[in-house]
Amino acid sequence: MSGKVILVGAGPGDPGLLTEKGHQALSQAQVVVFDRLVSPAILALIPPRAEAIDVGKESCHHPVPQEEINRILLEKALEGKRVVRLKGGDPFLFGRGGEELELLVEHGVPFEVVPGVTSALSVPAYGGIPVTHRDFCSSLHIVTGHARAGKELSIDFEALRRTGGTLVFLMSVSSLPKICRGLLDAGMEPEMPAAVVERGTLPQQRKVVSTLEHLAQDVEQAKIKSPAIIIVGKVCGLSDRFDWFDDLPLKGKTVVVTRPADRAGTLSAQLRQLGADVVDYPCIRTVARTPATELDRAIEGLSAYRWLVFTSPVGPGLFFERLRAAGKDSRALAGLRLAAIGPKTAEALEKFGLTADLVPATYDSDHLAQAMSGVEGPVLLCRASQGSPALPNIFEKNGVPFADVPCYDTVYENPDPAPVRALLAEPVLVTFTSASTVRGFVESLPGVDLSQVTGCCIGPATAAAAEKYGISVVISKEATMESLLECIKEV
C-alpha cells in the first residue's frame, strides 16, 4: 500500500501559529522531514516513535540537496509511510513546495498540502506593522532577495516603486544594501519608512525601524542576521505605536518549565503567550502503578470507607480506570464523601460527574490535612507513593483510621542538561510545581552554580525544598497555575 506525503507549513516560529490541521498531521506522522527554520517547540511535537529527518538548509550551502529531499519523500511514501514534510512559514511561498510535489505526482503518490502562516505577513504583524493600511497603500508585494547561484539579483525596482505598495523582502539580509540602493535609484524617497525584523514571532525577535536611506547602515550596526525580513513602505511608520509584542509582560525573560511533559503544555503555552522564552525541561513524570495491587484491593473494599481523597488531577482518572476494570462504576462511590486538594483535582472529578465535598481554601497538603482534621474515618487516600506526610500525620494524631494507597510513582526524567546549563550563567526563572520537580532539577545539574536561578514555586512546601538547595524563590499566592503565572509576571 502506498503511503502519503503531507506538506505542512509550520508557521514562522511561534509554536502557537502552527495550524490545528498541521498539528494533527504531525501527531499522526510516521516520518517527519523538516527544515532549519522550524522551531524547537514545534519539533517537540513530533511523536517519539516517528522517524525525524533533518534536511535543514544553511544559506550558501545545502546539507541535503533538493533532489535528495524529493527522493527521501518519495522513498518513504513508497514504503507505505505517512510522511509529513514540515517547512517554515507557508510551504508554497518561497518554500519549494511545488518542486517537492513534482516527483510525487510523477509516481502517483497521494499528497495533501496544509498551508502555514507565512513569515511575510506574520513577522511584520509581530513587529507592529500592518502590511496594508487604507491610508497608506493599496497593494502588497512579496519579493525574494535571494539570487540564484551564480546569478545577479534580478528585481525590477522601478516597477516595485510604481506600485506604491508595501514591499516585503524575504531571504534578503545579505542583499539589503543592494535592495535599498536599487529602490533609491528607481526614485523612491530616501525618507520612506523601512524596517527589518529578525527572528520574528520568537522570544528573540529584534526589530530595526529606519528610513530607506539609513536602513542598511542601521541594520549592519545592529548586527542583524538571517532569518529576517525587510519591509519597505509607509506602514512601517506605525510600528512604534502598534508595538504589542515587545511590550508583553514576560518579553526578554527566559523561563525553564520543569513540569512533567504531558502536563507542561498549558503552562508553557501560557508563558509563551506572555512573551517568555520558554525552555521545556521536564524533570519528573508520574507513572501509574502496574499492577495496581493496592488500589485494586482498596476498590474491592470501597464500601468500608467514609472519605475518598485525591491530591492531584491524575488521581481520579487512575482511580476510575481501576474501578471500571473491577466491573464497577460511579455508583460504587455512593455514600462516600470526596476531598480534592485543589480546583484542578476537583475538575478532574467533575469529569466523572462528581462534585468534591471538600476543597481546602489553600491548595496544599497541610491545608487539606487541617481541613480534614475533624472528619470521621475510615479515609482512603489515593495519591503518589512518597506523598507529603501531612495527611497521614493528622489522621494518626486524631485516631482516624485511614489507608494511604500509592496510585502512581514520581520518576525522575534525567533530561539532557546541556541547554539549561548554558542558560544558568545569566538570571533565569525556573518554575517548580512540587518538591519533586525541585529535586529532579537540581539532581540533573550536578555541580552547577544555581545562584542566578529564581525558583517560581507553587507553594511554601515547594519553596522550602528549593531554598534547601540555596535557590532564591518567589511563591505564588495560591497553589494554582494561574496564580503561579501572576507571580512570574511580577518577578
Show Cβ contacts of residue 370 under 8 Å, excluding neighbours closer than 6 positions: 360, 394
Give me the half-sphere count of Cα atoms (radius 13 Å) on the Cβ side of residue 204: 11
CA atoms of 340 and 359, how far apart (whole Å):
5
Residues 146 and 176: their CA atoms lie apart, in Å, by 10
Least distance to ligand SAH from the beta carbon of 119, Å?
A: 3
Q: Where are the beta strands (DSSP E) in 115-183?
A: 140-144, 166-170
List 88, 165, 415, 459, residue binding ligand SAH (CB under 6 A): 88
SS3 222: coil
Q: Which residue has the cell 546569478?
A: 151
CB atoms within 10 A of CB 126: 23
d(CA 408, CA 399) in angstroms, rounded, equals 26
Minimum CB distance to ligand SAH, residue 413 (Å): 30
Instruction: Name the residue nearer to ligand SAH (CB basis): 9 or 260.
Output: 9
- Among 199, 259, 289, 383, which residue sits at the site for ligand SAH (rule: CB under 6 A)? 199
Stretch that binds ligand SAH, among 106-114, 226-234, 340-348, 390-398 (CB under 6 A): 226-234
3-class SS of residue 120 = helix
Q: Which stretch binds ligand SAH (CB under 6 A): 83-91, 186-194, 435-443, 476-484?
A: 83-91
Rg (CA), the chain: 28
Question: Please, what is the minimum distance in Å from the beta carbon of residue 122 to ligand SAH?
Answer: 8
∠ Cα 52 54 55 (to 5°):
135
Stretch that binds ligand SAH, among 86-94, 304-312, 382-390, 441-449 (CB under 6 A): 86-94
240 catalytically annotated: no
The residues with which 380 forms a beta bridge, in sequence order, are 308, 403
State the residue number with the nearest CB to ligand SAH: 89
d(CA 342, CA 59): 51
Task: Select the span of 221-229, 241-249, 418-426, 454-462 touching ligand SAH (CB under 6 A).
Answer: 221-229
Q: Does residue 35 have an active-site annotation?
A: yes
Options 4, 14, 21, 57, the catalytic residue: 57
Residue 95 Cβ, how far from ligand SAH at the closest point, in Å?
4
Active-site pick, 35, 90, 277, 280: 35
367 DSSP β-pair partners: none
For ligand SAH, which residue of 86, 131, 195, 229 counts as binding (CB under 6 A)?
A: 229
275 binding ligand SAH? (CB under 6 A): no
DSSP structure class, residue 107: T
User: Is the Cβ of residue 235 or residue 479 nearer to ligand SAH in the bound state?
Assistant: 235
> What is the DSSP-derived secondary structure letter of residue 94?
S
| Only segment of 193-201, 216-224, 311-319, 461-469 that touches ligand SAH (CB under 6 A) | 193-201
- Which residue in 101, 171, 179, 339 binds ligand SAH (CB under 6 A)? 171
Determine phi and psi for 113, rounding to 5 degrees: -125, 125
Residue 231 exposed, middle or buried by CB count within 10 Å (0-12, 13-18, 19+): buried
Which of residues 35 and 478 has its CB atom nearest to ligand SAH in the complex? 35
C-beta closer to ligand SAH: residue 229 or 461: 229
Task: Residue count of the chain, please give it.
Answer: 491
Considering only residues 21-40, where is the footprint of ligand SAH by CB under 6 A? Answer: 37
Report the residue from 124, 200, 275, 455 that binds ligand SAH according to the rule CB under 6 A: 200
Other beta carbons less than 10 A from residue 66's beta carbon: 13
Among 140, 167, 197, 461, which residue interacts with ligand SAH (rule: CB under 6 A)?
197
Size of interface with ligand SAH, in residues (CB under 6 A): 24
Residues 92-151 that bind ligand SAH (CB under 6 A): 93-95, 118-120, 123
Active site residues: 35, 57
Q: Which residues bind ligand SAH (CB under 6 A)?
A: 12-13, 37, 88-90, 93-95, 118-120, 123, 170-171, 197, 199-202, 226-229
